[in-house]
Amino acid sequence: MSTNELIVSILCTVVGYALVSWLLNRGGRHGQEPRPEAPVPPSSAPPTPAPRSGEAPWHQVLGVSPNATRTEIASAYRSLISQYHPDKVARLGAEIRAVAERKSAELNRAYEQALSSRPVFP
């Protein structure tokens, strides 16, 4: 591995770690708890977004109950995305990468829909 490749690898690792840490902490400083959001009363909770035509509902995509908790949703998402992430098949054929990218996009959409339909504090 050349020096340039090593530097780029280290830089990407550091930037990736910082980005993931920021996303997990919602922009909070490392080591601090993120500020809790105000709970949404059940009567004013946003309705579950309807899936696009031809798409399965988020709970079917993630393989969970429609009444699943945020923890169950996150666990199912992590399990599935680890199987279908495009980086897992980066060295395989273009067709396989395309399938992985489509499945990852579907999982990401379902996860976002699931979280937007759930209150922050159950």
In tens, the pLDDT along 2-38 reads: 888 888 888 778 777 777 776 777 644 445 555 555 4
Please report, for the chain, the start and end positions of each structural domain, with discontinuous segments joined by +: 1-31, 48-122
pTM beyond cutoff 0.75 = no
Mark residue 65 as left, alpha or beta (left: phi above 0; alpha: psi -120 to 50; beta: remaining).
beta
Higher pLDDT, 47 or 79: 79
- How is domain 48-122 classified at the CATH fold level? Helix Hairpins (1.10.287)
Handedness of CA 80, 86, 89, 94 (dihedral sign): positive
Contact 62, 73 (CB under 8 A): yes
